[in-house]
Amino acid sequence: MLTFQDIFQSHYLENITAVPLFDMVAALVLAFGVGLFIFFVYKKTYIGVMYSSGLGVTLIALTMITTLVILAVTSNVVLSLGMVGALSIVRFRAAIKEPLEIAYLFWSISAGIVIAAGLLSLAVLGSLLIGVILLIFVNRKPHTRPYILVVQCDAKAEEQLNAYLKDSAEKFVIKSKSIQSGRMELNYDLRLKSPDTAFVNAIDAMEGVESAVLISYNGDYMG
């Protein structure tokens, strides 16, 4: 029968390799710096409607926590197996609002692993390269902005409206058309030739048009 004395006399404690204090502090400080850089890139490339600093702070903490966990795991093989078992039962249910947030979360975790593994140059240079690429491509603005045009009119005004949009818009597509009691609602997905949106006033002044609403949106434009 295994007793407590047998446990303390086993080689379990001998297999633990203490992480030097200087290496531990240096790794955590570097993880904080890289996490702060990831937070800066995330803030500059955020394309949502309502910005929340919660995820930004999470990116910093996640980088440092991952570094801390990997430092502990590398000190003992038995501890690494236990850590894998403990983390396997954790369930994260936070909703991801933007697909790009997945890339930032994975970036933070990867940076923490690389720093704890001692590949400091890879962590710094890799993070700088990823950050520059994200700043360039995410902040790249299209030459034309997508809009949604909602028009309520009668059947006679539809043909005139389509002819007017051919001259005023660079490209337009009818997304939906609903008719009720001789009145219709048309939803257009369009790209403008210029930032000037005064053409909506002309549409509203057309005979048979009850209302015209122009909405700007951040979405993928197909076609």
What average pLDDT is seen over the chain? 78
CA distances from 20 to 14, 27, 75, 124, 154 (A): 16, 11, 11, 22, 78
**Which amino acid, 142?**
P
Q: How far apart are CA 166 and CA 160, in angstroms?
A: 10
Domains of the chain in sequence order: 4-138 (no CATH), 146-216 (3.30.70.260)
**pLDDT tens sequence across 131-149:** 999 988 887 655 567 788 8
**pLDDT tens sequence across 156-195:** 788 888 888 888 788 888 888 888 877 888 888 888 777 7
Average pLDDT over residues 84-93: 57
Does the model's pTM come out above 0.85?
no
Is the separation of the CB atoms in 66 and 83 below 8 Å? no
Q: How far apart are CA 168 and CA 96, in angstroms?
A: 38
What pLDDT, on a 0 to 100 scale, did the predictor assign at position 31?
94
Average pLDDT over residues 146-157: 83
